[in-house]
Structures are given as C-alpha cells and as structure tokens.
Amino acid sequence: MKPILPVLLFVCAGLATTSLPASAQSPDEDLAAARAAVTQTPSGSNGDVSSDDPDMAAMVKKVKIITRSKSATELPENTPIALDLGLVDVPGADNKLTEGVTAKAYARYVKVEEQKVGQLVLSGVEKDGRAEALNSDDFVAQFALEDDPRLDPEAPITIEGDQSELIAALKRLAVAGDDETASKKEVEEAGVGASDGAVASNAASNPDAGSYTTPGALELDNTPQTSTRITAEGCKMRIDLDQLQAIQQTRMATTTDGETSYGTCADGEERYKINKSYSACSYIEDLDARTATASFIYYYTDGSGNRVEHGACQPDPEARFDIVEDSEACRVTLDYDAGNVITNAKLVYTNQNGRKVEVRDCSPSEQIAPAPMTATAEGCDIRDDFDAGVSYQRHKYVYELNGVSYSTACTDSGTEYKHQTIYKSDSGDYVCTPLINSKDKSVTLQSRVRILVNGLEQFRTACTPDTTSMEVMATTEGCEDPAYWTHSMSAGQSYGSERYYYFYDDKQEFITDCQKSDQVYTHQIEITGWQPHDDQLFAYALSTVYIDGTPQGRYNIKTSEVLPGTAQTPYTYDGESTAPTSEISYEDCTKFQGQNLVKNYTRPDGTKYSLVAGEADPVSLGDVCSVQITWGPDYHDQFENSPRNYKVVNKCGGYTFMDWSENRGSFRATDYYHCSWTLADGTKTIVRDDGQTIGEPQTNSCRSAPRQFIRTEPDNPDFVRGISWYGGWSYPTLTAIEKNNCAVTWGWQ
C-alpha cells in the first residue's frame, strides 16, 4: 500500500522547543542529549491524536523518535519537499526492526517573527521496496534553524510520534520480508530457476505436478489508496511588488480512491523576477509644471518564456525630467510695427535614454525678452532714377542677439530727393572746372546732378560737359567693359561709363577719361541654388546678380552667393512620421526595434529633410525565443512485488489474463507483478535569437511504459498461473514518440 502523504504542514501558535541543541556540541553529544529527552508520557501536551475516539486517544503514547537526515538537505520556505530519514532510536522497538528501514518524511521551514523554524512530518517507513504508511498527523517535529536552513546528516532530529503505530508498521515490514524470503526458498527447492529464465525439468522433484491446483487468489488490501502531489491547479500567481517577484502559488492535492481534495494555496518554489518596462508606456508631459515623467508597467516572463504584464502604466517619480526652452532650431520673428525682434523657442526635454524630445514647436520665448531693432541708412546707397529725376533714400534694420549683430537687407525708406543740375555752387563757385580749348579759344562749362540730404548736397553724377556751347559729344567707346563700371549692390543698380570728346581738324580729341554716366542698369537676380540650414529649418538663396543690355551683353556681378540681407526661406512642413533605427533592445523574450519620431520637411530646392523630434515608442518584433529540448542518457528503474505480500502495491499497472480455478472455472483476472522502466531526463531551455538564455532551464524525468513480467510456472498446464519473483531484468525502449508525449504533457510543446 502506498504511503499516505501529508496534505499540509502547519505552524503551531506556540512553537515547540527545538530538538537541535542551541550550543555547539559533537554529534555524539547531540545524540546522547536527544536520547535523554525520550519520554513515555501520554499524548495531550503536544500534538493531536489521530483517533477521534476519546478512549483510543487515552491509550496513544507519544514518544521521542530520534532520526537523522540521510543527506545534507536545504529546506525550502513554505513548500514541503520529500525527505529520507534514518531511524536512530525508536523507544520500545527492537534494533532489528529499524535495521535497513528508511523513514519517509516531508519538511520545510517557515518564518515566525524573523526566526526560521523547521517543520517535519513522518508519512511512512520503507524497506527493500516495501512500504508501510503512517498517519502524518501523529508524527510531527518543529525545530529552530540558523540562518542557513540546511539539515545536517550528523545532527539528530527528534520527532514526537505514536509509539504503537510506528512499531506496528515496522513489524509489518519485517513479516513481509520474512514471507518473501520463505517464498524464494520454496521456489528454489522446487527446482524452478528464475535467475536465468531457463525452463528446467520438474519430473524428478515434482511428481505431484499433475495434481497441482491453482493457488487461491491473493488477498488484496482494501485500505484506500492515497496519493499526494503538489499542484498549481486552482492557485493564482501572487505578485509581490516589495520583493519584485511573481510567485506561483501551489497547494497539496490528495487523491483517495479517485476522489481528490485540495489544500490551501501557499507560495511555491516557482518565482519569477518582476521588471519595469518603459517601452510600452508614454511619458507624462505636464506643460504647467514643465516636467516630463517616464511611466512604466510591471511585467515578468513565465516559465514558458511568455511576457506577462501586471497592472497599468504608472509614473516613475524617480524618472522625472525638466521641460526647457530650446531656441537653437527656431528662426526669429521681426516685428516692424513694434520695432522688436522676437526670439522663438521649442519646448524640449531629454529623456532617460539621453534623447531630446520635442513637446512644443517654435513659439515666442517666455524666457527671452524681445530685442529692439533700429533702422539705419548706414551701409545703404541712395538709389537714383535719372529718368524720373528723383533719388530714393534706402535703409536697413539692425539688432543684436546674444552679443551678435544682425542686419536686414536695404530697402527704400520712402524718402525722396529731387535732382538738380548745377554748374555753380550756392557760393558762386564752379562745381567743375570749365574745359578750355586753346586751339579755338573756346570754353565749355561742366555740370553735375545733385540732391540735398538733410540740407547737405550730394552729387549723383560726375562732371558733364555742356554740349550746347560747342560740339562736345559723349561716347562709350573705350568704356564698354562692365568690370570697370560702378555697381551699387545696396541700391540694386549699376552705372555705365562714358567719356567726352570733340573733333578738331577732323581728329577726335577726348576731353575726359571714362567716368560714371547716368545710364542705369537695374540689377537682375537669378536664384541658382540654396544654402540649407537644417538646424534652423531654413535656407538662404544662392543668387547670381547680373545686368543685361551692356555693350558686351549679359554681365554677372555676383555668382551664386548669399547676398547681404537675404531673407531666410523656411522649409515646408509635411507632417510627422516614425522612422526605424538600428537600436535593438529586449525585454526577456520580446524584441523591440527602436523608432524615432521625425518631422518631415521639404527644402526650397525640393529635397526632403527629416528632423528627429524625439523617441517614438519602439515597435515590438514579437516573441523571438525558441524552446530547445535536450535529452540526457537513458537510465533504468524496476519494481519487484513480493508474491507473498498481501499488501499489493500497484506500481506496474494492470495485467489482465485468463485464469482458471477449480471452484470458479475460467475467469479473467488482473494482478500486479514485476516491471521495469527506461527513463531519460529532458531539459527545456528558452533561448532568444541573440543566443541569450532566458530564465532557468527546467529538467523533468520522462519514463517509458512499463515492461511487465508475469510468468507461467514451467512444466505446469497452460491454465496454471504460477507466482514467482523475477531474477533477471530487461528494459523497454524509451522511444522518441514517448519523449515527445512527455514534452507535450509538461507543456513544453
């Protein structure tokens, strides 16, 4: 009969005194001290009796049973594990009863007010494959532990238990062993060799075989068959945010004759680390407080590599960043009406990855006051219109930002000056020296065009001979090259060149050299390209300034240059999008590819520009883990059931066959005999696509279907079923299909 396993270990409100000595002693001293503590007092002071009958309870004697762990074993917290103990001293029991006996137990430790307390219950005794169950409620131990919850094989463990129940179980083990030994001896004396499986003759030693009758059926024990297992069925995962652990709760499931009952869920051994995921949550941007706070969600990766999220996104107060102004990427605004220069700025913050994130586009700065700008004519030439007889004053605006001076292009200010052609100044002096021709004794006066600017005269032309007094003529001959002309970039004009002459004796006599004429050529501007400034989202036009109609045709004054005062041409905004980056990150089995939030623009030349405005949420590439299952070498196990054991243990499964009885005739019977298995340990490893192992590898044991051994006695009629122990073992094959079925059963596939 299978041992009855405990459903739960429990914590007593008042802890029993530890059986391990508090002071350091030798193992022999420990054992002597433990034996000295053995008592024969009736139950009642500690523990509960297993019987509900008051008279029976009075007869139960609790004694101190001295045991030792067979190996150094570390006890888990809360969840009990199976444990093998050696029986050192059982009060009232002969030493022969305990010789070779293994006590089966379950043990764990719990914390009580920060003290570790070991708890142990005895569930049965076993010897040579035979087992006897004990009522675990009647065999209990509690003992204090040091910081290391480890059982030392040298240290005794005292269990308080039912003396009569334990001794009775030990005696049953001894009787069953004697019966099996006798059975083997009878078989050997009968000449039935089972060690090599050969069929021997039975004629000489068994003359009565012809009158052999089938033995009576084995008397099966009607004691309910009970099995106990630890399961997570019906238990939830407990989230412990203090320890950042996800703890799979488990409970004891006890099955008796097919009926299963469950204990209370408690923390189990399977625990998964809880992490924070920021990639799945957005920043909380508070423009009023000028802060951006990262948010996260808790998650863990379970034993199958699945990402499990807990709760919702929540702010992380330790990841709060200031939102500040950034004016570097913004152009200024010129307010001519107010006479101010307005600095524009974006609102940005630097996130926990060191990336700049834009919160608000360019707007008037709240921190930088507008700067004054002043109109000035300095640096701007007066523009002349000789046909209209007027000149125009031009001016520009100048301002200073961060210690740097800036100016606009020159434009007409609206002030006009009328032309005056004069020969003499207001004081009566000639403005130009008269031309005297000594050959014909003639004098030619010269004039200039002037304007009055703020009461001061400015001459707009050079000295021009008066062509009315003599035959003086103007010519561009010898003055055709525009390279020698006067070019006023601020006025947007170029002046032709000419010189004066007259004829004497049919010979051309030049009076002047080439000088500025009143022939005005208006500048033409041709945009030949652009000078981009991506950092501020504008471009300067590259201009070629030229004039047409010169004696040499088109003449380029400036070629593909940024002209003074050229306006900033802004980029055209095309909207936002995301763009993948080369950044790859992982959260356990989930793979993420980084993304940038970009603002798309079109430059004046039609080319595209994308400005990284910050980080976008990374895109999940899904679960990139794979399950790798490896198998260790095969190993074997077997079970041998004694034919004399009336407590038949069903470890091999059922075997149904046709039997015969003198009283009952032919009938079908089912028995359990000997069997063997082939086993292999499978290990599941979760491996990510970058080769990283996720979590801890899990190992389970896979067992083949049993090979059963049921023989018919040699030389007996076919209908005679003999009962024999099997001496030579063979083992079945653990097939790939069975391994695959194991993996499926374990949830690995």
SS (HEC) of 192-219: CCCCCCCCCCCCCCCHHHHHCCCCCCCC
> Distance between CA atoms of 661 and 425, rounded to whole angstroms?
159
Pairing, β 515-522 against β 524-533? unpaired
Contact of 436 with 420, CB cutoff 8 Å: no
Block residue for tokens 């703020």: 454
Q: Is residue 59 part of a domain?
A: yes
Residue 413, token pair as written in the block: 């200010």
Contact of 716 with 209, CB cutoff 8 Å: yes
Residue 55, token pair as written in the block: 């008279």
Q: Is residue 284 part of a domain?
A: no
One-character DSSP codes across 251-293 = EEEEEETTEEEE---EEEEEEEE-EEE-TTS--EEETTTTEEE
Q: Is residue 226 part of a domain?
A: no
Distances (CA, A) of 189 to 131, 213, 663: 28, 19, 28
Chain centroid to Cα 252, Å, comes to: 34
E strands of 454-588, at which residues? 456-459, 464-465, 473-475, 486-488, 493-504, 507-510, 515-522, 524-533, 538-550, 553-561, 569-570, 572-587
Element (H, E) at 164: helix 163-189
Residue 88, token pair as written in the block: 């050192």
pLDDT of residue 662: 52
> Distance between CA atoms of 732 and 260, rounded to whole angstroms?
32
pLDDT of residue 723: 41
- Assess whether 654 and 508 both reside in one domain: no
- Assess whether 153 and 199 both reside in one domain: no
Q: Is residue 133 part of a domain?
A: yes
Of 76, 77, 130, nearest to 102 by C-alpha is: 130
pLDDT of residue 485: 93
> Distance between CA atoms of 148 and 279, rounded to whole angstroms?
40
pLDDT of residue 651: 60
Q: Is residue 573 part of a domain?
A: no
Cross-strand partners of 301: 307
pLDDT of residue 464: 87
User: Residue 639, SS3?
Assistant: strand
Name the domain boundary from 522, 556, 571. Answer: 522
Q: Which residues are CB-neighbours of 437 under 8 A, at least 6 positions away?
A: 443, 444, 470, 502, 504
- Assess whether 645 and 504 both reside in one domain: no
Q: Is residue 576 part of a domain?
A: no
Q: How far apart are the first and last CA of the chain?
A: 35
Of 247, 256, 248, nearest to 225 by C-alpha is: 256
How many other CB atoms are found less than 10 A from the CB of residue 26?
A: 9
> Distance between CA atoms of 130 and 167, rounded to whole angstroms?
16
- Assess whether 656 and 694 both reside in one domain: yes
Name the domain boundary from 478, 493, 522. Answer: 522
Q: Which residues are CB-neighbours of 23 under 8 A, at least 6 positions away?
A: none
Q: Is residue 154 part of a domain?
A: yes
Global pTM exceeds 0.75: no
Report residues of the chain scoring pLDDT below 50: 1-59, 186-221, 643-648, 654-659, 664-672, 711-727
Q: Which residues are CB-neighbours of 82 under 8 A, at least 6 positions away?
A: 104, 105, 106
The 8 Å CB, 24+ separation contacts for 560-566 are 560/528, 560/529, 562/531, 563/409, 563/489, 563/525, 564/407, 564/409, 564/489, 564/490, 565/396, 565/407, 565/408, 565/409, 565/410, 566/409, 566/540, 566/541
- Assess whether 42 and 164 both reside in one domain: yes
Residue 680, token pair as written in the block: 């292999």
Burial (CB count <10 Å: 0-12, 13-18, 19+), residue 731: middle
How many other CB atoms are found less than 10 A from the CB of residue 405?
A: 8
Residue 196, token pair as written in the block: 């090599």
Name the domain boundary from 189, 207, 237. Answer: 189
Contact of 191 with 185, CB cutoff 8 Å: no
pLDDT of residue 4: 35
> Distance between CA atoms of 743 and 749, rounded to whole angstroms?
6
- Assess whether 33 and 173 both reside in one domain: yes
> Distance between CA atoms of 459 and 431, rounded to whole angstroms?
10
> Distance between CA atoms of 124 and 105, rounded to whole angstroms?
7
pLDDT of residue 42: 33
Contact of 451 with 417, CB cutoff 8 Å: yes
The number of folded domains in the chain is 3
- Assess whether 22 and 142 both reside in one domain: yes
- Assess whether 480 and 446 both reside in one domain: yes
- Assess whether 75 and 206 both reside in one domain: no
Q: Is residue 462 part of a domain?
A: yes
- Assess whether 434 and 480 both reside in one domain: yes
- Assess whether 65 and 129 both reside in one domain: yes
Identity of the residue numbered 693:
T
Element (H, E) at 477: none
Radius of gyration of the chain (CA): 54
Block residue for tokens 């000489």: 204
- Assess whether 115 and 202 both reside in one domain: no
> Distance between CA atoms of 705 and 708, rounded to whole angstroms?
9
Block residue for tokens 């033995």: 215
**pLDDT tens string 257-273:** 778 888 888 888 888 99
Q: Which domain holds residue 504?
A: 385-522
